[in-house]
Structure 1
Amino acid sequence: MRIGELARRTGASTRALRYYEQRGLLGSERAANGYREYPPEAVERVRGIRLLLDSGLTSDDVRELRGCLQLDLVNEPECEEALALYQQRLRAVRERIDALTATRARLERHLAAD
């Protein structure tokens, strides 16, 4: 299928699909006319990429989880590698929230003192 059809079937923009290719997350072949051609399994792969990105992971993280992209992440249980990375990212988010909360409290104290 061509890039436009893959975009329609997945809800991803053609720009996003090109970006996924540039980052090594998605592959295509070039037809004789130069158009990108994607295999049928690209639909589930793109849905998995989008799910991981929407979960707060970066494209570098997703590249590390390429094995997970062989699964139907939308409808099947989570990939163990992805779960471990989710936990790692969640710890980092909590630490950042704690740091921001402490900063807010300091700023509020300074403003209250005035």
Structure 2
Amino acid sequence: MRIGELSRATGVSVRLLRYYEEQGLLVPERTPGGQRVYGADAPAVVRRVRALLGAGLPTRIIAEVLDCVCGSETEIEPCLSPLLVARLDAIDEQISDLQGARSSLAALVAATEGRGIAPAG
């Protein structure tokens, strides 16, 4: 299937499919004329990539784990658990940092409002 067909089949833009190729997530064959031709499994690969992106994994990690996805888009080999747990821990830390920043900012806004100074915006 050509890139336009894959785009229509998956709902992913041609530009994004090319990006996936640049990142090593999607590997097409090439015709003698240089056009991309994707195998029958390409729509499933794209769905897996989308599911992993939706789970907050960056493309560099997806490139490492993509071959270990088995069955459906969300079935991962157990050996990947430490990598995924580490990513989950990193996301939890980011959430904690953001909650702290939000609390600090809310306190500043409350103090500003208490002095009769309207916040900018």
Amino acid at match of 1:88: A
- Which residue of the partner structure matches residue 15 of structure 2? 15
Choose 1 or 2 for highest CA Rg: 2
2:92 to 94, 100, 111: 94
Deviation of 1:93 after TM superposition, in Å, equals 1.7
Unaligned ranges ≥5, structure 2: 116-121
- Which residue of the partner structure matches residue 118 of structure 2? none
Deviation of 1:50 after TM superposition, in Å, equals 1.0
Name whichever of 92-101 and 54-63 sits farther off.
92-101
- Which residue of the partner structure matches residue 5 of structure 1? 5
Amino acid at match of 2:72: L
Q: Within 1, Cα distance between the matches of 2:50 and 2:79? A: 16
Deviation of 1:87 after TM superposition, in Å, equals 2.5
Q: Within 1, Cα distance between the matches of 2:7 and 2:80? A: 24
Q: Percent identity?
A: 40
Confirm or deny that 1:48 pairs with 2:10. no
Deviation of 1:64 after TM superposition, in Å, equals 0.9
- TM-score, normalised relative to structure 2: 0.76
Unaligned ranges ≥5, structure 1: none
Evaluate the alpha carbon distance shift between residue 6 and residue 110 of structure 1 in structure 2; reply closer, same or farther with a 3 A threshold.
closer
Q: Within 2, Cα distance between the matches of 1:98 and 1:85? A: 20
- TM-score, normalised relative to structure 1: 0.80
Aligned length: 112
Residue-by-residue CA offset, 1:33-75 (whole Å, 9 max, x unaligned): 3211111011111111111111111100101103224x2333x
